[in-house]
Amino acid sequence: MTAPTKPPYGGTADSASERALGEPLHSPVIEWFDEHARDLPWRRPEAGAWGVMVSEFMLQQTPVNRVLPVYEQWLARWPRPADLAAEAPGEAVRAWGRLGYPRRALRLHGAAVAITERHGGDVPTDHAQLLALPGIGEYTAAAVASFAYGQRHAVLDTNVRRVFARAVTGVQYPPNATTAAERRLARALLPEEASTAARWAAASMELGALVCTAKNEECHRCPIAAQCAWRLAGKPAHEGPPRRGQTYAGTDRQVRGRLLAVLRETHGPVPQAALDRVWHEPVQRARALDGLVADGLVEPLPGGLYRLPLS
Protein backbone atom coordinates (compact mmCIF):
# COMPACT_ATOMS: atom_id res chain seq x y z
CA MET A 1 0.00 0.00 0.00
CA THR A 2 1.31 3.41 -0.88
CA ALA A 3 0.90 6.53 1.19
CA PRO A 4 -2.04 8.75 0.23
CA THR A 5 -1.00 11.86 -1.62
CA LYS A 6 -1.89 14.96 0.38
CA PRO A 7 -0.96 18.58 -0.02
CA PRO A 8 0.92 20.28 2.79
CA TYR A 9 -0.96 22.44 5.26
CA GLY A 10 -2.17 25.56 3.55
CA GLY A 11 -2.42 23.81 0.16
CA THR A 12 -5.58 22.89 -1.69
CA ALA A 13 -7.31 19.56 -1.93
CA ASP A 14 -10.62 18.25 -3.13
CA SER A 15 -12.96 17.92 -0.14
CA ALA A 16 -14.47 14.73 -1.56
CA SER A 17 -10.99 13.19 -1.56
CA GLU A 18 -10.52 14.25 2.06
CA ARG A 19 -13.86 12.71 3.03
CA ALA A 20 -12.88 9.51 1.28
CA LEU A 21 -9.69 9.39 3.33
CA GLY A 22 -11.69 9.63 6.54
CA GLU A 23 -14.06 6.75 5.92
CA PRO A 24 -11.56 3.87 6.40
CA LEU A 25 -10.23 5.54 9.57
CA HIS A 26 -13.49 5.88 11.49
CA SER A 27 -14.33 2.27 12.34
CA PRO A 28 -10.87 1.07 13.47
CA VAL A 29 -10.26 4.16 15.61
CA ILE A 30 -13.70 4.02 17.23
CA GLU A 31 -13.43 0.27 17.82
CA TRP A 32 -10.01 0.80 19.40
CA PHE A 33 -11.51 3.50 21.61
CA ASP A 34 -14.36 1.22 22.68
CA GLU A 35 -11.77 -1.24 23.98
CA HIS A 36 -9.01 1.02 25.30
CA ALA A 37 -10.60 4.30 26.39
CA ARG A 38 -9.66 5.38 29.90
CA ASP A 39 -12.42 5.43 32.48
CA LEU A 40 -12.38 9.15 33.25
CA PRO A 41 -15.05 10.81 35.42
CA TRP A 42 -16.00 13.41 32.82
CA ARG A 43 -16.80 10.62 30.36
CA ARG A 44 -19.39 9.06 32.64
CA PRO A 45 -23.07 9.90 32.06
CA GLU A 46 -23.45 11.39 35.53
CA ALA A 47 -20.81 14.06 34.71
CA GLY A 48 -23.30 15.96 32.59
CA ALA A 49 -22.49 18.97 30.45
CA TRP A 50 -21.12 20.96 33.40
CA GLY A 51 -18.69 18.16 34.28
CA VAL A 52 -17.54 18.05 30.67
CA MET A 53 -17.06 21.82 30.61
CA VAL A 54 -15.07 21.84 33.84
CA SER A 55 -12.82 19.07 32.54
CA GLU A 56 -12.18 20.90 29.27
CA PHE A 57 -11.07 24.04 31.08
CA MET A 58 -8.81 22.07 33.40
CA LEU A 59 -7.27 19.82 30.75
CA GLN A 60 -5.96 22.70 28.63
CA GLN A 61 -2.17 22.38 28.88
CA THR A 62 -2.46 20.16 31.97
CA PRO A 63 -2.12 16.35 32.08
CA VAL A 64 -4.95 14.10 33.23
CA ASN A 65 -3.21 12.84 36.36
CA ARG A 66 -2.90 16.37 37.73
CA VAL A 67 -6.46 17.29 36.81
CA LEU A 68 -8.23 14.30 38.37
CA PRO A 69 -8.03 15.22 42.08
CA VAL A 70 -8.82 18.89 41.49
CA TYR A 71 -11.73 17.98 39.19
CA GLU A 72 -13.27 15.68 41.81
CA GLN A 73 -12.97 18.32 44.53
CA TRP A 74 -14.36 21.02 42.23
CA LEU A 75 -17.48 19.04 41.27
CA ALA A 76 -18.07 18.01 44.87
CA ARG A 77 -18.06 21.66 45.91
CA TRP A 78 -19.74 23.16 42.85
CA PRO A 79 -21.91 20.46 41.21
CA ARG A 80 -23.78 23.05 39.11
CA PRO A 81 -22.75 26.31 37.44
CA ALA A 82 -24.95 28.30 39.82
CA ASP A 83 -23.02 26.94 42.80
CA LEU A 84 -19.78 28.33 41.43
CA ALA A 85 -21.41 31.57 40.28
CA ALA A 86 -22.56 32.24 43.83
CA GLU A 87 -18.96 32.27 45.08
CA ALA A 88 -16.37 35.02 44.74
CA PRO A 89 -14.05 34.53 41.74
CA GLY A 90 -11.13 34.34 44.17
CA GLU A 91 -12.55 31.09 45.52
CA ALA A 92 -12.28 29.60 42.03
CA VAL A 93 -8.64 30.69 41.91
CA ARG A 94 -8.07 29.16 45.37
CA ALA A 95 -9.66 25.85 44.40
CA TRP A 96 -7.66 25.76 41.16
CA GLY A 97 -4.62 24.93 43.26
CA ARG A 98 -1.47 24.19 41.31
CA LEU A 99 -3.03 23.28 37.98
CA GLY A 100 -1.27 26.24 36.40
CA TYR A 101 -2.56 28.94 34.06
CA PRO A 102 -4.97 30.17 36.77
CA ARG A 103 -6.74 32.61 34.48
CA ARG A 104 -8.65 29.52 33.39
CA ALA A 105 -10.27 29.51 36.85
CA LEU A 106 -11.49 33.08 36.38
CA ARG A 107 -12.78 32.27 32.91
CA LEU A 108 -14.63 29.21 34.18
CA HIS A 109 -16.16 31.30 36.95
CA GLY A 110 -17.21 33.91 34.38
CA ALA A 111 -18.78 31.19 32.23
CA ALA A 112 -20.67 29.86 35.26
CA VAL A 113 -22.05 33.33 36.00
CA ALA A 114 -23.16 33.75 32.39
CA ILE A 115 -24.77 30.29 32.32
CA THR A 116 -26.67 31.11 35.49
CA GLU A 117 -27.81 34.52 34.28
CA ARG A 118 -28.53 33.75 30.63
CA HIS A 119 -29.47 30.07 30.55
CA GLY A 120 -31.17 29.31 33.84
CA GLY A 121 -28.15 27.50 35.21
CA ASP A 122 -27.97 24.86 32.45
CA VAL A 123 -25.01 24.60 30.08
CA PRO A 124 -26.50 25.53 26.69
CA THR A 125 -26.77 22.89 24.01
CA ASP A 126 -26.43 25.29 21.10
CA HIS A 127 -22.89 25.65 19.77
CA ALA A 128 -23.27 29.39 19.08
CA GLN A 129 -24.54 29.99 22.62
CA LEU A 130 -21.59 28.04 24.01
CA LEU A 131 -19.19 30.10 21.93
CA ALA A 132 -20.79 33.30 23.23
CA LEU A 133 -19.98 32.43 26.86
CA PRO A 134 -17.00 34.31 28.36
CA GLY A 135 -13.83 32.29 28.32
CA ILE A 136 -15.15 29.80 25.75
CA GLY A 137 -13.20 29.55 22.51
CA GLU A 138 -13.64 27.55 19.35
CA TYR A 139 -12.15 24.35 20.77
CA THR A 140 -14.05 24.34 24.09
CA ALA A 141 -17.41 25.10 22.46
CA ALA A 142 -16.96 22.25 20.00
CA ALA A 143 -15.74 19.87 22.71
CA VAL A 144 -18.69 20.52 25.04
CA ALA A 145 -21.22 20.31 22.20
CA SER A 146 -19.66 17.06 21.02
CA PHE A 147 -18.79 15.27 24.25
CA ALA A 148 -21.74 16.43 26.35
CA TYR A 149 -24.46 16.58 23.73
CA GLY A 150 -23.32 14.18 21.01
CA GLN A 151 -23.27 16.81 18.28
CA ARG A 152 -21.27 16.82 15.07
CA HIS A 153 -18.34 19.22 15.41
CA ALA A 154 -14.64 19.15 14.56
CA VAL A 155 -12.81 19.01 17.92
CA LEU A 156 -9.21 19.99 17.31
CA ASP A 157 -6.89 19.73 20.28
CA THR A 158 -3.15 19.08 20.14
CA ASN A 159 -3.61 15.30 20.17
CA VAL A 160 -6.16 15.25 17.36
CA ARG A 161 -4.09 17.63 15.25
CA ARG A 162 -1.06 15.33 15.62
CA VAL A 163 -3.06 12.24 14.62
CA PHE A 164 -4.42 13.97 11.52
CA ALA A 165 -1.01 15.39 10.61
CA ARG A 166 0.57 11.95 10.66
CA ALA A 167 -2.23 9.67 9.48
CA VAL A 168 -3.61 11.86 6.69
CA THR A 169 -1.09 14.56 5.79
CA GLY A 170 2.07 12.51 6.27
CA VAL A 171 4.04 14.90 8.47
CA GLN A 172 5.37 14.29 11.96
CA TYR A 173 3.88 17.34 13.66
CA PRO A 174 1.17 19.87 12.87
CA PRO A 175 1.98 23.60 12.70
CA ASN A 176 2.51 25.46 15.96
CA ALA A 177 -0.85 27.21 15.59
CA THR A 178 -4.02 25.69 14.18
CA THR A 179 -4.49 26.63 10.53
CA ALA A 180 -7.56 27.05 8.34
CA ALA A 181 -6.40 24.02 6.34
CA GLU A 182 -6.41 21.88 9.48
CA ARG A 183 -9.93 23.00 10.35
CA ARG A 184 -11.12 22.23 6.84
CA LEU A 185 -9.51 18.79 6.94
CA ALA A 186 -11.02 18.04 10.34
CA ARG A 187 -14.49 18.96 9.08
CA ALA A 188 -14.02 16.83 5.97
CA LEU A 189 -12.98 13.83 8.08
CA LEU A 190 -16.10 14.00 10.29
CA PRO A 191 -18.52 11.08 9.97
CA GLU A 192 -21.91 12.17 8.71
CA GLU A 193 -23.93 10.80 11.62
CA ALA A 194 -23.77 13.06 14.67
CA SER A 195 -23.37 10.31 17.28
CA THR A 196 -20.60 8.66 15.27
CA ALA A 197 -18.90 12.02 14.76
CA ALA A 198 -18.94 12.67 18.51
CA ARG A 199 -17.45 9.24 19.14
CA TRP A 200 -14.82 9.85 16.45
CA ALA A 201 -13.86 13.14 18.11
CA ALA A 202 -13.28 11.43 21.47
CA ALA A 203 -11.57 8.41 19.90
CA SER A 204 -9.09 10.37 17.77
CA MET A 205 -8.23 12.50 20.79
CA GLU A 206 -7.58 9.43 22.94
CA LEU A 207 -5.47 7.86 20.20
CA GLY A 208 -3.22 10.90 20.20
CA ALA A 209 -3.02 10.93 23.99
CA LEU A 210 -2.15 7.25 24.44
CA VAL A 211 -0.59 5.91 21.22
CA CYS A 212 0.25 8.58 18.64
CA THR A 213 2.10 10.66 21.21
CA ALA A 214 4.47 13.54 20.55
CA LYS A 215 7.47 11.38 21.41
CA ASN A 216 7.96 7.61 21.34
CA GLU A 217 4.81 6.90 19.36
CA GLU A 218 3.69 3.25 19.58
CA CYS A 219 2.77 2.41 16.02
CA HIS A 220 2.51 -1.30 16.85
CA ARG A 221 -0.53 -0.45 19.00
CA CYS A 222 -2.13 1.89 16.50
CA PRO A 223 -5.35 0.67 14.81
CA ILE A 224 -4.62 2.72 11.67
CA ALA A 225 -0.86 2.12 11.38
CA ALA A 226 -1.34 0.34 8.05
CA GLN A 227 -3.02 3.45 6.63
CA CYS A 228 -0.83 6.12 8.25
CA ALA A 229 0.69 8.39 5.59
CA TRP A 230 3.61 9.40 7.81
CA ARG A 231 4.53 5.80 8.68
CA LEU A 232 4.16 4.65 5.07
CA ALA A 233 6.48 7.46 3.99
CA GLY A 234 9.18 6.18 6.36
CA LYS A 235 8.46 8.65 9.16
CA PRO A 236 10.22 11.67 7.65
CA ALA A 237 11.61 14.07 10.23
CA HIS A 238 9.81 17.32 11.02
CA GLU A 239 10.79 20.06 8.56
CA GLY A 240 8.62 22.93 9.74
CA PRO A 241 9.34 25.70 12.25
CA PRO A 242 10.93 24.53 15.51
CA ARG A 243 8.39 23.16 17.94
CA ARG A 244 7.85 25.41 20.92
CA GLY A 245 9.17 24.05 24.18
CA GLN A 246 7.81 25.02 27.57
CA THR A 247 10.10 26.17 30.34
CA TYR A 248 9.10 26.92 33.90
CA ALA A 249 12.05 27.22 36.28
CA GLY A 250 13.05 30.84 36.79
CA THR A 251 10.26 32.27 34.65
CA ASP A 252 7.61 34.80 35.59
CA ARG A 253 5.16 31.88 35.56
CA GLN A 254 7.03 30.29 38.43
CA VAL A 255 7.08 33.54 40.39
CA ARG A 256 3.36 34.09 39.77
CA GLY A 257 2.69 30.56 40.99
CA ARG A 258 4.58 31.15 44.21
CA LEU A 259 2.81 34.44 44.86
CA LEU A 260 -0.58 32.88 44.24
CA ALA A 261 0.27 29.96 46.53
CA VAL A 262 0.69 32.37 49.45
CA LEU A 263 -2.65 34.02 48.70
CA ARG A 264 -4.46 30.71 48.23
CA GLU A 265 -3.24 29.39 51.55
CA THR A 266 -4.31 32.51 53.47
CA HIS A 267 -7.97 33.36 54.03
CA GLY A 268 -7.74 37.11 54.19
CA PRO A 269 -5.45 39.93 53.06
CA VAL A 270 -1.72 39.24 52.79
CA PRO A 271 0.91 41.91 53.52
CA GLN A 272 3.51 42.81 50.92
CA ALA A 273 6.27 41.47 53.19
CA ALA A 274 4.80 37.94 53.01
CA LEU A 275 4.86 38.07 49.22
CA ASP A 276 8.38 39.49 49.14
CA ARG A 277 9.68 36.35 50.81
CA VAL A 278 8.69 34.00 47.97
CA TRP A 279 11.20 35.27 45.38
CA HIS A 280 14.64 36.80 45.80
CA GLU A 281 14.72 39.04 42.69
CA PRO A 282 12.66 42.19 43.40
CA VAL A 283 12.21 43.41 39.83
CA GLN A 284 10.92 40.08 38.56
CA ARG A 285 8.78 39.64 41.68
CA ALA A 286 7.18 43.06 41.22
CA ARG A 287 6.58 42.38 37.53
CA ALA A 288 4.90 39.06 38.33
CA LEU A 289 2.71 40.64 40.99
CA ASP A 290 1.72 43.48 38.67
CA GLY A 291 0.79 40.89 36.06
CA LEU A 292 -1.43 39.02 38.53
CA VAL A 293 -3.20 42.26 39.40
CA ALA A 294 -3.64 43.18 35.72
CA ASP A 295 -5.09 39.72 35.01
CA GLY A 296 -7.63 40.08 37.80
CA LEU A 297 -6.14 37.22 39.80
CA VAL A 298 -5.02 39.41 42.70
CA GLU A 299 -6.73 42.43 44.23
CA PRO A 300 -4.58 45.17 45.81
CA LEU A 301 -5.85 46.81 48.98
CA PRO A 302 -4.81 49.96 50.87
CA GLY A 303 -1.85 49.61 53.19
CA GLY A 304 0.18 47.29 50.97
CA LEU A 305 -2.20 44.34 51.34
CA TYR A 306 -3.31 41.84 48.68
CA ARG A 307 -6.03 39.20 48.40
CA LEU A 308 -7.72 36.95 45.91
CA PRO A 309 -10.50 38.81 44.04
CA LEU A 310 -13.96 39.12 45.57
CA SER A 311 -15.69 40.43 42.47
Q: pLDDT at position 22, please?
A: 83
Q: CA–CA distance from 146 to each of 156, 195, 249, 311 (Å)?
A: 11, 9, 37, 32
Find the helix or strand (DSSP H, E) in which 76 lies.
helix 64-77
DSSP 8-state class, residue 3: P
Give pLDDT, residue 248: 79
**Residues in contact with 48: Cβ distance below 8 Å, sequence separation at least 6, in sequence order:** 123, 148
Distances (CA, A) of 222 to 18, 33, 169: 21, 11, 17
Q: Do domains 23-32+154-231 and 39-147 have the same CATH topology?
A: no
Query: Of 56, 91, 206, 299, which one is the catalytic site residue?
Result: 56
Query: What dotted CATH number matches 23-32+154-231?
Result: 1.10.1670.10
Distance CA(138)–CA(134), nearest Å, equals 12
Fold of 39-147: Endonuclease III; domain 1 (1.10.340)
pLDDT value for 167: 97
Please tell me whether residue 305 adopts helix, strand or coil conformation: strand
| Domain spans of the chain, in order of start | 23-32+154-231, 39-147, 250-305
What is the structure's pLDDT at 161?
Answer: 98
pTM of the model: 0.89
Q: Say if CB 127 and CB 145 are below 8 A apart.
A: yes
What is the distance between the alpha carbons of residues 296 and 89, in angstroms, rounded to a whole number?
9
Q: What is the pLDDT of residue 19?
A: 66
User: For the chain, how big is the Rg over CA atoms in Å?
Assistant: 22
The pLDDT profile of the chain, 311 residues, written as one tens digit per residue, is 344 444 333 333 445 666 677 889 999 999 999 999 999 999 999 999 999 999 999 999 899 999 999 999 999 999 999 999 999 999 999 999 999 999 999 999 999 999 999 999 999 999 999 999 999 999 999 999 999 999 999 999 999 999 999 999 999 999 999 999 999 999 999 999 999 999 999 999 999 999 999 999 999 999 999 999 999 999 999 987 777 766 778 899 999 999 999 999 998 999 999 999 999 999 999 999 999 999 999 999 999 999 999 98
| Cβ-based neighbour number of residue 34 at 10 Å | 10
Rounded Cα gap, residues 200 and 168, in angstroms: 15
Active-site residue, 281 included: no
Please give the Cα distance from 173 to 67 (Å, whole number): 25
CB atoms within 10 A of CB 14: 9
Taking a C-beta distance cutoff of 8 angstroms, is the pair 73, 85 a contact?
no
